[in-house]
Amino acid sequence: MNGPSFSSTAPFETHVVLNQPPPFAGRQLWTDDVALMEAVQREGAAAFAPRLAIYGGLAGNQLYQLGFDANRDRPRLRTHDAQGHRIDTVDFHPAYHQLMHAAKQHGVSGLSWHEPQPGVHVARAALSYLHHQAEAGTSCPLTMTHAAVAVLQAQPHLAEWARKAASPVYDARDVPVGDKAGLTLGMGMTEKQGGSDVRANSTRAEPIDGERYRLVGHKWFFSAPMSDGFLVLAQAPGGLTCLLMPRRLADGDRNAFHLMRLKDKLGDWSNASSEVEFCGAQAWRVGEEGRGVATIIGMVMMTRLDCMLGAAAEMRMALAQALHHARHRRTFGKPLVEHALMANVLADLALESEAATVLAMRIARAVDCAGSDPQEAALARLGTALGKYWVCKRAAAFVNEAQECLGGAGYVEESMLPRLYRQAPLNSIWEGSGNVQCLDVLRALGREPEAMQALRAELEAVADRDAGYAAALQRWASAPAPDESQARSFCERTVLLLQASLLLRARSPMAGVFVRSRLQGEHGLVFGTLPAGVDLGAMMARALPQ
């Protein structure tokens, strides 16, 4: 008799489960990722490899499982307690707090600041990349907390805030900052009438004394509303100004703001975003009056880098899920991964993922060196905008392609891919959408000659390693300066050259295929259109060990 047999003691069994991949969890996200390990060493953070290995194991096991719980039970706003008192509290699933505790403890939001040394920003970027693969929503408050330190540490009167934000301690209690060893920070920049045009903000900052102000107005997006403090923009007598608004005042009283509602978002379900009204809330000035945008720019380089890292991490996890499935699932007599067309898709995704990773890590090194090397500072300024535009723009299509590799299984929540797909558009919107990034690139090139000099130096350093790359570089260099309508086309060509140069510099086995497919036109408009003659199996093997 052919086919599976059934036990007479289990009369209600209708079938035997066959041809299903084993669970994905239980992976080591650091040692699985050859491109990441090579990039961390190349960009000067090799000393942190043992620490990254520990977090890679944690992210691929416990944190990976916690991520499902944190997203299944979304945050809830409680505006009043049972006695009718206004409390404005957001309740999270316990998994959210466990994720935040692990991330803070291991330096995802503070390593750059509490252990300053060469390469530390690269190591912190790698930690963020690993964490984001396990759970993306918590990356929002972690990123804001990390970036805010860059601004707060320059303000002597806010030294306690800077020190505690950088601390590897997570404390979820709703108590004054003086009672905490560690804290988290949120942001409130955009208003109903302004969006990206923050100069249109109408919230007023009325001076109280010295550096203290009273806020009256609203914010349409108020991120991570259970944070201990928030950086906000408001109109002071001297113009648009950055301020730090605490959740609790020093005496323990609630500050005078109301959470109006939580945003019902496409993704990012584990994390809360809100709308808020300020009813005379106290805040401290950060920087000079009228210099609010210039002050916030100190954070933008950090937050844009994390947008790029988040998108690259989502791509990496989607690729790993697709490869894992295709290696274990059999179709038409052989493993799915052995079908030539599927192999082309998976290898193409692996190529895109590695290019995103090496770019993010290179820009992290530029950020790391920006304080001591003007050329690196110029590259960081330009590279964060270029990388955020391109990598974040590619993520949604990438994740959807990975979903197709699983078929219907990629459309159900157990696979994690629906969560990644919902999350993927966020990084392209947050901290300035695609057009904002491209215009920022043109602005930087027009106002800062050193930016173009730094970019040319980076691109020309490997011009002798590949003839196809050299030809593409020559075409780019001889093209006329773009006007605004051509900003996207220019940024696309530029960032593809930058990614190719980094793969060539790394002597990655992926470099030649990237040049052929992305620079020489041997590629279509979708993934899975790599040219003939490419060793697809070797590309997949490099992307994820069996």
Answer yes or no: are the C-beta atoms of 168 and 114 closer than 8 Å.
yes
- Indicate the residue type of 204: R
Look at phi and psi of residue 207 and say left if phi exceeds 0, alpha if psi is from -120 to 50, else beta.
beta
pLDDT one digit per residue (tens) for the chain, 546 residues: 455 555 556 778 899 999 999 999 889 999 999 999 999 999 999 999 999 999 999 999 999 999 999 999 999 999 999 999 999 999 999 999 999 999 999 999 999 999 999 999 999 999 999 999 999 999 999 999 999 999 999 999 999 999 999 999 999 999 999 999 999 999 999 999 987 788 889 999 999 998 999 999 999 999 999 999 999 999 999 999 999 999 999 999 999 999 999 999 999 999 999 999 999 999 999 999 999 999 988 888 899 999 999 999 999 999 999 999 999 999 999 999 999 999 999 999 999 999 999 999 999 999 999 999 999 999 999 999 999 999 999 999 999 999 999 999 999 999 999 999 999 999 999 888 999 999 999 999 999 999 999 999 999 999 999 999 999 999 999 999 999 999 999 999 999 999 999 999 999 999 999 999 999 999 999 999 999 999 999 999 999 998
Answer yes or no: are the C-beta atoms of 497 and 476 closer than 8 Å.
yes
Rounded-to-integer distance, Cα 387 and Cα 363, Å = 8
The DSSP string of 143-205 is HHHHHHHHHHTT-GGGHHHHHHHHSS------S-GGG-S---EEEE---TTTTT-GGG---EE
Name the β-bridge partners of 279. Answer: 216
Tell me how far the alpha carbon of residue 131 is from its chain's centroid. 10
The DSSP string of 394-443 is HHHHHHHHHHHHHGGGGGSGGGSHHHHHHHTTHHHHTTS-HHHHHHHHHH
Rounded-to-integer distance, Cα 130 and Cα 124, Å = 10
Answer yes or no: are the C-beta atoms of 405 and 329 closer than 8 Å.
no
- Residue 6 is predicted with a pLDDT of 54
Q: Residue holding tokens 């003939």?
A: 532
Rounded-to-integer distance, Cα 364 and Cα 385, Å = 13
* C-beta atoms surrounding 18 within 10 Å: 7
Rounded-to-integer distance, Cα 170 and Cα 183, Å = 6
Collect all residues with Cβ–Cβ distance below 8 Å to 496 and sequence separation of at least 6: 390, 518, 519
Rounded-to-integer distance, Cα 146 and Cα 1, Å = 64
Burial of 223 by CB count in 10 Å (0-12 exposed, 13-18 middle, 19+ buried)? buried
Rounded-to-integer distance, Cα 175 and Cα 439, Å = 42
Name the β-bridge partners of 223. Answer: 187, 273
Rounded-to-integer distance, Cα 431 and Cα 385, Å = 10
State whether the Cα torsion 271-275-280-285 is positive or negative. Answer: positive
- Residue 2 is predicted with a pLDDT of 56
Pairing of strands 229-236, 185-188: parallel
Collect all residues with Cβ–Cβ distance below 8 Å to 200 and sequence separation of at least 6: 191, 193, 194
- Residue 431 is predicted with a pLDDT of 86
* C-beta atoms surrounding 193 within 10 Å: 11
Tokens at 172, concatenated: 């979820």
- Residue 12 is predicted with a pLDDT of 83
Whole-prediction pTM: 0.96
Answer yes or no: are the C-beta atoms of 177 and 161 closer than 8 Å.
yes
Rounded-to-integer distance, Cα 313 and Cα 356, Å = 9
Ramachandran angles phi, psi of 243, nearest 5°: -140, 155
Tokens at 35, concatenated: 């491109």
- Range list of H helices, 461-535: 467-478, 487-505, 511-514
Tokens at 78, concatenated: 């409680």
